[in-house]
Amino acid sequence: MSVLDQLPLWQHSAIRVLDIRRDAIGPGDRLRLSRLPASAFLLLASGEASVAIDGRAHPATAGYVCHAGKGAALTIDGAQQTTSFYLLYYKAALVAPARRELLRMQREIDPFGARYALAPPRPLQLQIRMEEMYRQWQLRTPLERFHVRGLFHQWIYELLKQLHELGELGPLRTDPVRQAMLYIEERYAEPITLQELASHLQYGTRQLQRQFKARLRTGPMEYVNQVRMQQAEHLLRTTNAPIREIAEAVGYADSYYFSRAFKKHTSLSPAQYRTECRRNPLQMSPLSIGAEGVLPYSVTDDENHYHYINGGETPLLKRTKGTLAVSLLLSVMLIIGACSNNGAGTGTANQGGNTTPPAATQNTGNNAADQAQSNYPLTIKDLKGDFTLEQKPTRIVVLDNKFADQLVALDEKPIGSVTSAGDDKDFPAYLMDKMTDVKVLGTRDEPNMEAILEMDPDLILCTGFQEQFYEQFSQIAPTLMLDFDEDWRDTLVTLGKIMEKDEEAQSLLTAYETKTAELRQKFAEKLGDETVALIRPRDGGIRVHPPAHRTGAILYNDLGLKLPPAMEGQDDTYQISMEVLPDINADHYFMLANVMFQEDVDSVINTDIWKAQKAVQQGHVYTVDTTQWIAYYGPIAINLIVDEIAELLLDEA
C-alpha cells in the first residue's frame, strides 16, 4: 500500500482525535488490548519491546510506529527495561457526499483499518509532534482540543512523507519466539504439535527449538505444557469444575494422563492441589513458568466481551507481570473541558473499588409525613462507593439501553441515550415509539461526549462497561455507575427510588413473578422431563448458555425449564465443538442468531451431526434474535423474551 494510494482518502475524510495516552511497561509486564475501540497509532518513545498486531509479533525499538484499525488486537511485552509509548485513538470518515471512486478505494485500501508498522527514517520528528499533541490534549479545553486536530494533520503529513520515502510497506521482521508464545497462549486447549506450530509461523522446527531454548531456556512443546499446567492451576483454584472438564479445558483428552502430568509438574495430584488451595489459599500462589508472563485462562461470552476487566482500561485489556494479572491504569485524557457539577446531586466514590451490589437507601427524618412524600436526599451504593442525590433528577442521560427500558417501564424516559447498534442511529425496535424525542448520544462503545455535554443532564447512568469514561462523565454531571451484570430486578428497584416510583417498580416485579409462576406450572405440565438448551453458533463451534448466563437464568431459574445433564455444573458460558453437541442432546433448542453471524449458523445447521439431533428431527429448534435476547435486560425486554418462550413452547402443534 503506497502513500499515493492512501492520500485521496486522507484528503477527503473528516478526522477526529478521540484520545491520546502515554504509558510504560517494565520487564515482565504485558499490555494487551484484545479489541481496539477505534483506529490507533502506537509510537514507542523509549526502550525496546515486542509488539504484536493480531498475533503477528515483531521487535520494536524507540521511534517505532504501528497502526491498527478498530477491532484489532495489540500486544506489547518483552521489555528488558522501562519502555514508554504513546497510543493515539482517532476516527476517520469520508466527507459526505463521497464520490463513488473514493468509496471503492476505501473498500480496497482502507488506510484507517490497515495493520502495518515501520521504523521511520526520522523518528524524532514524529515523536516531537506526538509529545506536543499529548501536552495540548492534557489541557482539556475545547480550544486546545481543536488545536490537537490540526497538529494531528501535521503528524499524519510527516508520517506519510516518511512512508513515501521508504516506498511501499514491506513485510515486517517478525519475532518467531514471541509469535509462537502468543499462538500457544491463545490455543493451548487445542492439540498442538511442533510441526503445526512451525508451519503456522512458516519457520523451521529446528530453528524454532533453538531460538526458544536460547530465549526461554525451554523448548516450544515444554512451553505448551507449562501454559496448560498454569491454566489448570488457575481453574483448580477458582472453580469447582470436575477434573475431567478441567483436563479437557486445558487440552488433555485423557483425564488420567492429565493427572499424571499435573502431579509431575506440582508434586500434587489435581485433587490434592485443590484441597491445599482451600486449606492454605495464600500459600498456594501460581507457579512461575519462566521469564515471560501468560494471561490467565478465562472463558468469556461474546455478549459480555465489552466488559472492562480493570478500572480505566481499554476493552479486555490486561497487563500481567510474571504470571499474575495486575490492574492496568492507563490515564484517560478528558475529551471535554472541565465543567462544574450543576446537576441534581453529588456523588462520593470509594476509591478502594467497592463492588457491593448497588442498593438505595433514603435518609430518615424526624417528620414521617415528609419522608413519605420524598425519597430525597437519597444515597445509593454503586461501583464507586456511596453516591448521594439531593433532589430528584429531571434530565437523565443513559449509556446503556437497559436503563432506557427500565425508565420507560416506569412511565419515564431519558432525555438522551446511546444505541446498541453500530450505526449510531437506532434505539431498540420495541422502544422506538416511546423514544421519538430522545436524542442519540453515540453508541455504548463510543458515547458522544460533545452530545452528552450539550444535553446538560443532571444525572448520567452508566455501567462498569464504561469505566474508562467515568471521569469524563463526572465532569459533565453526577454519574451513577452500576454493575453491568446486575440483576434487572435490582436495577429496577434502584431506579424506582430515584424516580420516586417505588410502588410502580414493585408492581412490575410482582406482575413478572405472577406471570413466570403460572408459566412454570404450564411448562411442567406440558414438557415434563424434556430438556431445553440455549445455544449460539459462533467461531466455528457452539456457545452454550447455562443458568449463570443472564438469559439462561430466565429459562432455567425464572421459568423452571429443565437443563440437559451435560450442562449441569457449568458456571459460565462455554464453547463446544460440533462433535460434542450430541452430549447435550436437548429435547428443545433455542438458537440465538442474527444476520451478522448467519455464516456461523449455516456452518452448524448444514452438518450431518446437527441434522441427526432429535430436537431437529422433531422440529423443536426455535431460532430467536440474538440482540433481543441478550442485549437489553430491562423489564420490557425480559417480558418480551418470556412471552416468546411461552408462544414457542406452549403453542406448538
Is residue 487 within 8 A of residue 424, CB to CB? The reply is no
CA distance 567 to 608: 22
CA distance 493 to 509: 9
pLDDT confidence tier of residue 281, bands split at 50, 70 and 90? low
For 112, the 3-state DSSP assignment is: coil
A 10 A CB-CB count for 374 gives 14
585 has a pLDDT exceeding 60: yes
- Phi-psi region for residue 234, left (φ > 0), alpha (ψ -120 to 50) or beta? alpha
Reported as a single tens digit per residue, the pLDDT across 188-230 is 888 888 777 877 777 777 778 888 887 777 888 888 888 899 8
Read off the C-alpha cell for 422.
453500530
175 has a pLDDT exceeding 80: no
Return the pLDDT at 602: 87
CA distance 148 to 131: 11
Please provide residue 93's backbone torsions phi and psi, each rounded to the nearest 5 degrees.
-145, 140
Lowest-pLDDT choice from 180-184, 485-489, 631-635: 180-184
pTM of the model: 0.47
Q: How many CA atoms lie within 13 A of 177 on its CB side?
A: 19
The three-state (H, E, C) secondary structure of 344-362, written as one string: CEEECCCCCCCCCCCEEEE
CA distance 552 to 563: 10
Classify residue 531 by its DSSP letter. B
Quote the distance between the C-alpha of residue 315 and its chain's center.
Answer: 5
Per DSSP, the residues of 448-471 read -HHHHHHH--SEEEEEGGGGGGHH
Read off the C-alpha cell for 12.
477527503
340 has a pLDDT exceeding 70: no
Using DSSP bridges, classify how beta strands 324-326 and 532-538 pair: parallel, antiparallel or unpaired. Answer: unpaired
CA neighbor of 343 nearest in space, from 398, 403, 393:
393
CA distance 493 to 495: 6
For residues 44-73, average pLDDT: 87
Per DSSP, the residues of 289-308 read -SSS--PPP----GGGTT--
Question: Would you call 470 exposed, middle or buried from its count of C-beta atoms within 10 A (0-12, 13-18, 19+)?
Answer: buried
Cell 471512486 belongs to residue:
101
Reported as a single tens digit per residue, the pLDDT across 288-305 is 333 333 333 332 333 333
A 10 A CB-CB count for 499 gives 20
Return the pLDDT at 283: 56
How far, in Å, are 69, 390, 410, 496, 630 from residue 414 at the CA level?
33, 19, 11, 14, 22
How far, in Å, are 293, 325, 642 from residue 296 at the CA level?
9, 7, 36
CA distance 616 to 621: 6
CA neighbor of 207 nearest in space, from 182, 234, 181, 176:
176
Return the pLDDT at 326: 27
Lowest-pLDDT choice from 218-227, 359-368, 429-438: 359-368
Return the pLDDT at 358: 46
Please provide residue 13's backbone torsions phi and psi, each rounded to the nearest 5 degrees.
-120, 145
For residues 376-390, average pLDDT: 88
CA distance 634 to 642: 12
A 10 A CB-CB count for 138 gives 13
pLDDT confidence tier of residue 354, bands split at 50, 70 and 90? very low
Return the pLDDT at 397: 94
Q: Which helix (H) or strand (E) element contains residue 65?
A: strand 65-68
306 has a pLDDT exceeding 80: no
Q: Does 378-500 match 507-650 in CATH topology?
A: yes
Residue scoring higher pLDDT (407 or 367): 407
Quote the distance between the C-alpha of residue 489 and its chain's center.
Answer: 23
A 10 A CB-CB count for 178 gives 23
Provide the CATH number for the domain formed by 507-650 in this structure: 3.40.50.1980
183 has a pLDDT exceeding 90: no
Return the pLDDT at 99: 66
**CATH superfamily of the 4-121+139-170 domain:** Jelly Rolls (2.60.120.10)
- Phi-psi region for residue 411, left (φ > 0), alpha (ψ -120 to 50) or beta? left
For residues 25-46, average pLDDT: 87
Read off the C-alpha cell for 607.
452438518
Please provide residue 486's backbone torsions phi and psi, each rounded to the nearest 5 degrees.
-60, 140
Give the start-to-end residue ranges of the domains of the chain: 4-121+139-170, 175-276, 378-500, 507-650
For residues 240-256, average pLDDT: 81
Return the pLDDT at 92: 87
**CATH superfamily of the 175-276 domain:** Homeodomain-like (1.10.10.60)
Return the pLDDT at 460: 94
Read off the C-alpha cell for 305.
466481551
pLDDT confidence tier of residue 168, bands split at 50, 70 and 90? low
Residue type, 463: T
Per DSSP, the residues of 575-586 read EE-GGGHHHH--
Classify residue 90 by its DSSP letter. E
Is residue 540 within 8 A of residue 603, CB to CB? The reply is yes
Is residue 610 within 8 A of residue 598, CB to CB? The reply is no
**CATH superfamily of the 378-500 domain:** Nitrogenase molybdenum iron protein domain (3.40.50.1980)
Measured N-to-C along each axis, helices 635-650 and 502-527 cross at an angle, to the nearest 10 degrees, of 20
CA distance 251 to 224: 10
| Span between the terminal Cα atoms of the chain, in Å | 59
Partnered with residue 118 across adjacent β-strands are: 65
How far, in Å, are 17, 468, 552 from residue 281 at the CA level?
46, 32, 32
Lowest-pLDDT choice from 210-214, 338-342, 344-348, 518-522: 338-342
For residues 126-134, average pLDDT: 90
The residues, ordered by sequence, that sit 6+ positions from 505 with a Cβ below 8 Å of its Cβ are 410, 492, 493, 495, 496, 497
A 10 A CB-CB count for 500 gives 16
Is residue 262 within 8 A of residue 232, CB to CB? The reply is yes
557 has a pLDDT exceeding 80: yes
Q: Provide the mean pLDDT of the chain.
A: 78
How large a percentage of the chain has pLDDT more than 70?
A: 81
